[in-house]
Amino acid sequence: MGVSVKIKLVLPALTEATSPYWRPIKYSLFPPLGLATLAAYCDPDDELTLEDEHVEAVRLDDAPDLVVIQVYITNAHRAYALADHYRARGAYVILGGLHVTSLPDEAAVHADTIFLGPAEATFPAFLLDLRAGAPQRRYDAAGAVRTLHGVPPIRRDLLKRHLYLVPNSIVVSRGCPHHCNFCYKDAFFEGGPGFYTQRVDEALAEIDRLPGRHLYFLDDHLLGNAKFARGLFAGMRGMGRLFQGASTVDAILRGDLIEQAVEAGLRSIFIGFETLDERNLRTANKPQNLGRDYDRVIRRLDDLGVMINGSFVFGLDDDDPDVFSRTVDWAVGRGVTTATFHIATPYPGTALFREMEQAGRILHRDWRRYDTRTVVFSPRGMSAAQLKAGYDRAYREFYAWGSVLRGSQAHATVSRGLKHLAYAGGWKRLEPMWDRVIRSRHLSRMRPVLESVLATVDVLQRGGPAEARPGLGPDAPAQPQGAA
């Protein structure tokens, strides 16, 4: 290869995300941050293009020298097809990401080189090897240096901001301090630290580079390292930012970190409640939730004016057919503003997958259907059909007008109740509109609306009028899956 390399970075999408008829808003929320992170290691002379199939058609008639493809579980099928296409055209194809780390042998068939784990050390090493004409077949982050200190600024110039509702997504850490048995985390970070953060000054510098007011922290657990979080929030105070993020229940109850987050601009938080059953929490290896008073968590956040997106998993071994109505009733009764429900999904590489496989409970390996909306294993306490029907019903019932009204009455003050009503109700009313806006490719025009509405939350918190905040609901979870 010459001095300047033509490099194409691609985030393939699952079919649903490319449908011209109906594409859920969630696929247009966030730009491909992982690929823009990798792009920062390329040479300034390299010719870079970045295509995200969730928001644009991938060009197939080009001739890049190197193709960098990110593989999640549900896009794996499409990722392999694109990899095969470019290899047939003579390009050097590399595959990495969560699914490649879980199933390297499956991915290796479609790639010249595969990457396991986070790639901040291995990708630059590969680029050097490639230029020296001696790339390896496989780079493994296990044993490699693992740090976010001194990482180059993300190549945000490659992201087509106008195609996303939330272009200001950011991650200031990797991983999580916990070890839930269904989570991607332990497999992905195997062989090194499973939770580490940027330096506070570098995280603040990245925030400073982002225009506008609204930020979305995609970190699995923004409050996971209290010292780091304290420094971050102190630095953000006075920046005038409004942000959303994710945390575990125990971190909300501990100390005054959550108050500091609110002072720094936190307005909505994703919380992994997962299940109301202590037996399920034990089996899922989620001690951070065990014995915690979920009601206190909700009251504390509500008192601070922070809206809650509660995450719940259905189909765990101690769930029975009543779990759906029990959970919805609890969430609505407590005034949880939005909910993200999942059908339990054993991802390959996780402890849950190994247990299920040994017990012969995995129904199939069609990764396209491992989307947390489809039953892919034999449940214990109910049939697969009951699980699917109950999951669908939970969404319907949680977002029914009656529930939205009841939820709005669960708050301590009238203004918070109105906020709930406007927020949850606003999403329902606006849902068909999102679809039209996405198709017209003018999503960026909605961003000022989102920012001004979030700013109104700010006013409301200080005692001002009620607001409506669109953008989050059943198809646009406030935190896209699994974290915390």
Q: Which residues bind ligand SF4 (CB under 6 A)?
A: 176, 178-180, 183, 185, 220-221, 248, 272, 482-484
How far apart, in whole angstroms, are the C-alpha atoms of residue 72 and residue 69? 10
**Concatenated DSSP letters of 211-256:** -SSEEEE--S-TTSSHHHHHHHHHHHTTS--EEEEEE-HHHHHSTT
Q: Which amino acid is at 54?
A: H
> Cβ distance 271 to 252 under 8 Å?
yes
Q: How far is the CB of 384 from ligand SF4 (least distance, A)?
A: 23
Q: Which does 272 bind (CB under 5 to 8 A by kind): ligand B12, ligand SF4, none?
A: ligand SF4
In this chain, which of 25, 38, 130, 344 binds ligand B12, going by CB under 6 A?
38
How far apart, in whole angstroms, are the C-alpha atoms of residue 453 and residue 374? 34
- Asked if 27 touches ligand B12 (CB under 6 A), the answer is yes
How far apart, in whole angstroms, are the C-alpha atoms of residue 44 and residue 203? 23
What residues numbered 76-95 form the site for ligand B12, per CB under 6 A?
94-95
Q: Which does 178 bind (CB under 5 to 8 A by kind): ligand B12, ligand SF4, none?
A: ligand SF4
> Cβ distance 306 to 478 under 8 Å?
no
Q: Nearest to residue 222, comparing CAs of 240, 203, 241? A: 203
Q: Which does 26 bind (CB under 5 to 8 A by kind): ligand B12, ligand SF4, none?
A: ligand B12
In this chain, which of 92, 115, 233, 270 binds ligand B12, going by CB under 6 A?
115
- Asked if 184 touches ligand B12 (CB under 6 A), the answer is yes
Q: Which does 225 bind (CB under 5 to 8 A by kind): ligand SF4, ligand B12, none?
A: none
Q: Which does 241 bind (CB under 5 to 8 A by kind): ligand B12, ligand SF4, none?
A: none
Q: How far is the CB of 481 from ligand SF4 (least distance, A)?
A: 9
Q: Which residue intervals of 29-161 are DSSP H helices?
A: 33-39, 76-88, 98-102, 104-108, 122-131
DSSP-assigned letter for residue 15? H
Sequence-separated (6 or more) residues with CB below 8 Å from residue 386:
321, 379
- Kindly tell me which of 224 and 474 has the beta carbon lying closer to ligand SF4: 224
Q: In what order do the strands lie in the sheet with 169-170?
A: 169-170, 214-217, 242-247, 266-274, 307-314, 338-343
What residues numbered 380-439 form the site for ligand B12, per CB under 6 A?
none
Torsion of CA 270, 272, 275, 276, to 10 degrees: -70
Q: Which does 457 bind (CB under 5 to 8 A by kind): ligand B12, ligand SF4, none?
A: none
How far apart, in whole angstroms, are the C-alpha atoms of residue 191 and residue 34? 20
In this chain, which of 120, 274, 277, 302 binds ligand B12, going by CB under 6 A?
120
- Asked if 371 touches ligand B12 (CB under 6 A), the answer is yes
Q: How far is the CB of 121 from ligand B12 (least distance, A)?
A: 9
In this chain, which of 372, 374, 403, 456 binds ligand B12, going by CB under 6 A?
372
Q: Which does 484 bind (CB under 5 to 8 A by kind): ligand B12, ligand SF4, none?
A: ligand SF4
- Kindly tell me which of 444 and 481 has the beta carbon lying closer to ligand B12: 481
Cα 408 to Cα 87, 190, 222, 332: the distances in Å are: 55, 43, 27, 8
In this chain, which of 42, 183, 344, 443 binds ligand B12, going by CB under 6 A?
183
> Cβ distance 445 to 437 under 8 Å?
yes
Q: How far is the CB of 315 from ligand SF4 (least distance, A)?
A: 16
- Kindly tell me which of 110 and 185 has the beta carbon lying closer to ligand SF4: 185
In this chain, which of 10, 37, 231, 308 binds ligand B12, going by CB under 6 A?
37
Q: Binding segment for ligand B12 among 63-71, 247-255, 356-364, 412-420 (CB under 6 A)? A: 63-71
In this chain, which of 7, 10, 13, 148 binds ligand B12, going by CB under 6 A?
13
How far apart, in whole angstroms, are the C-alpha atoms of residue 98 and residue 69? 12
How far apart, in whole angstroms, are the C-alpha atoms of residue 475 and residue 292? 29
- Asked if 481 touches ligand B12 (CB under 6 A), the answer is yes
What residues numbered 343-362 form the site for ligand B12, per CB under 6 A?
347
**Backbone angles phi and psi of 339, in degrees to 5:** -130, 145
**SS3 (DSSP) at 339:** strand
How far apart, in whole angstroms, are the C-alpha atoms of residue 96 and residue 114? 6
In this chain, which of 42, 50, 66, 72 binds ligand B12, going by CB under 6 A?
72
In this chain, which of 39, 42, 82, 98 binds ligand B12, going by CB under 6 A?
98
Q: How far is the CB of 412 from ligand B12 (least distance, A)?
A: 31
Q: How far is the CB of 160 from ligand SF4 (least distance, A)?
A: 29
Q: Which does 98 bind (CB under 5 to 8 A by kind): ligand B12, ligand SF4, none?
A: ligand B12
Q: How far is the CB of 409 from ligand B12 (least distance, A)?
A: 30
Cα 471 to chain centroid distance, Å, stands at 15
Q: Binding segment for ligand B12 among 71-79, 252-260, 270-278, 285-293 (CB under 6 A)? A: 71-79
DSSP-assigned letter for residue 303? H
Q: Which helix (H) or strand (E) holds 301?
A: helix 294-303
Q: Footprint of ligand B12 on this chain (CB under 6 A)?
A: 11, 13-14, 17, 26-27, 29-34, 37-38, 68-70, 72-75, 94-99, 102, 115, 118-120, 123, 171, 183-184, 218, 220, 347, 371-373, 480-483
